[in-house]
Structure 1
Amino acid sequence: MLPDRGPEAAAARVLAAADLAEARRVCEVDPVSSVLAASRVDVASRAGLAAAGGQLWGFPAEGPLAAVCWAGANIVPVVPATLSRSERDDAVIAFAASARHLGRRSSSIVGDKEVALRLWELLSRVWPPAREVRTDQPSLMIDRDPDVEPDARVRRSDPAELDLVLPACVRMFTEEVGYSPVSGGSGAYASRVRSLMADGRSFVRVDADPQGRPMIGFKAELGAVAGQVAQVQGVWVDPLLRGRGLSAPGMAAVVTLTRQHVAPTVSLYVNAFNAPALRTYRRVGFEQVGTFATVLF
């Protein structure tokens, strides 16, 4: 863990459009671990910070940026390991102060384990308790052909298949996070799924249910893409088809299609307690390059 230096005078600043190129360079120090934040910086660079849906903080408050933090639907700190331990802790202290000032509007804190847990340690003193803290999430990547033959039936989904794909996404999210993403209305979540499908970042295998109707047997999305890295999220096999060996060939297909059409490096992170998923990803050829932590609200 980072040292507890206390809430000192370290401060961050809210970044503007003129700071985005420099913020992107901070993310490039470790493009795999920073892909979530970098993807939002890229959206802000194309369409403006308002369109990106959050604030971007930079540390220190004056001078060249050493660390950044995205604060939108998720709080995603990017504090490079190349900084000294005291510099890293100063950055986290500064981002905690910015988060306290903004108030808790995000559904999670996610990022490098040391940084995310230190940030939560500071915020937990003033914010309500977290719903869950996932402290050990191996960060994996592959930048070559998979070691498993890809499932030829896994393909990019067609936007016309939204009514088929959306229920599978809702079921996956509910299983993984513990509540339905459409409990307060389906509009925002459906728009997110529709957008991923339209951008060619949704992958499916269509099977038949016991009544012969089409169903999603396997699915995955690229939840974040920035530069040369695409991060896979939402990997799911329908319970009716689990235990039939669909996961590894399905993930191999996602890796192959992503490297062909989107980015040469494919990453993901997974809970360490999910031993079957870890075995699958390692069988496909993913290698661990770091460890994440996630605080869920």
Structure 2
Amino acid sequence: MLMQTTTRVLEPGDLGAALAILESDPVANAFVTSRVQIAGLDPWRLGGEMWGWYADGRLRSLCYSGANLVPICATPEAVRSFADRARRTGRRCSSIVGPAEPTARLWQLLEPHWGPARDVRPHQPLMVAERMPDDIAPDPYVRRIRKDEMDVIMPACVAMFTEEVGVSPLAGDGGLLYQARVAELVGAGRSFARIEDGKVVFKAEIGAATNQACQIQGVWVAPEHRGKGLSATGMAAVLRYALADVAPIVSLYVNDFNAPARACYRRVGFRETGAFMSVLF
């Protein structure tokens, strides 16, 4: 018997079913889950649409379509359906990001229509930690950034973003959206740094956060301070804050070609549990 499938934009009444799927993989889905838990499924509040793929009347897979296009628990059949919808609506996102396998399938279907991408990162190890390392003491000078320190943290955030993504976050709207996001993390107490002589020498943020898992992002050491071990002790400090105040599982994903970062995270006790993929436009 043929399976009946359909894809549609989810509505606020679908929240329970959507959260059940999102929470089935709290680490991989932390980014989207954190947004849905705060904003629900209303597109205006969520900052995008949530597409749902149904098989025989049951919601099985999701795809977040906003500034990022993110396949969630997406089967090959769901990916084909999401790709069809994305082709019809046209590209509105600045990146496609998600678990490597479905994201690769999605990009394979969309590349003839949306390509070429500015950059494709096919394998970004997803790493998790659930306890503090035994042999690395947290940097005692890494602390939460205060709201009155936005002018101190912003240059480091811009430098990190530009180095990591390849374009400045100040392009386009002059950095208004990016500055608002940094301010949001500072206001939530999830921006951390070591500051010396008024300048940031190490920084990181806890980006996505749910009760089950959170994700560290934006790890950066000022170029003139690299090679001194600040990243390992700094990461240990941020990990301590995350485990104590945010969630029992702390995750991050890293470019596979960034060998020093991967070695640092392993030293701090992170282990690889999967992989993400990013397509940047």
* Alignment TM-score > 0.5, same fold: yes
Q: How many residues get paired?
A: 276
CA distance in 2, matches of 1:48, 1:59: 17
Q: Which amino acid aligns with 1:152?
A: P
Aligned to 1:257: 241
The TM-score normalised by the length of structure 1 is 0.89
Aligned pairs for 1:86-235 (under 5 A) are: 88-147=75-134, 148-184=136-172, 185-208=174-197, 214-235=198-219
Equivalent residue number for residue 3 of structure 1: none
Runs of 4+ in 1 over 6 A off after TM superposition: none
- In structure 2, C-alpha distance between the alignment counterparts of 1:283 and 1:99, rounded to whole Å: 40
* Unaligned residue ranges in structure 2 (runs of 5+): none
> 1:288 is matched with which residue?
272
Q: In 2, are the aligned partners of 1:40 and 1:70 still within 8 Å (CA)?
A: no
Q: How much does 1:10 deviate?
A: 5.5
Deviation at residue 42 of structure 1 after TM alignment: 1.4
The aligned amino acid for 2:94 is: S
CA contact (8 A) 1:10 1:93 kept: no
- Residue 58 of structure 1 aligns with an amino acid whose one-letter code is G
Residue 48 of structure 1 and its aligned partner are, at CA, apart by 3.9
Aligned counterpart, 1:5: none
Q: Quick check: 1:44 aligned with 2:39?
A: yes
Q: Tell me the secondary structure at the aligned position of residue 237 of structure 2.
A: helix
Spell out, residue by residue over 1:192-217, the C-alpha distance to the aligned partner (whole angstroms, 9 max, x if none): 10011001111111012xxxxx1001
SS of the equivalent of 1:114 reads helix
Quick one: which of 55, 63, 69 aligns to 2:63?
A: 69
What's the CA shift for 1:62? Answer: 6.2
* TM-score, normalization by structure 2: 0.94
Computed over aligned residues only, the root mean square deviation of the Cα atoms, in angstroms, reads 1.5
Q: Does the Cα contact within 8 Å between 1:37 and 1:69 map onto a contact in 2?
A: no
Conservation of the 8 A alpha-carbon contact between 1:154 and 1:250? yes
Once residues 217 and 104 of structure 2 are traced to their aligned partners in structure 1, the CA distance between those partners, rounded to angstroms, is 21
Partner deviation per Cα, 1:92-113 (whole Å, 9 max, x = no partner): 0111112112211111111111
C-alpha separation in 2, matches of 1:59 and 1:165: 41
Return 5+ residue gaps in structure 1 as ranges.
1-8, 81-87, 209-213
Q: Secondary structure at the match of 1:105?
A: coil
- CA distance, structure 1, for counterparts of residue 9 and residue 56 of structure 2: 11
Percent of pairs identical after alignment?
A: 50
Residue deviations 1:113-146 (CA, integer Å, cap 9, x gap): 1110100000112113111110111000011123
Partner of 2:228: 244
User: Separation in 1 of the partners of 2:99 and 2:208?
Assistant: 16
Partner of 1:13: 8
Shift of 1:61: 6.7
The amino acid of 2:7's aligned partner reads: A
Verify the 8 A CA contact 1:137 1:292 in the aligned structure 2: yes
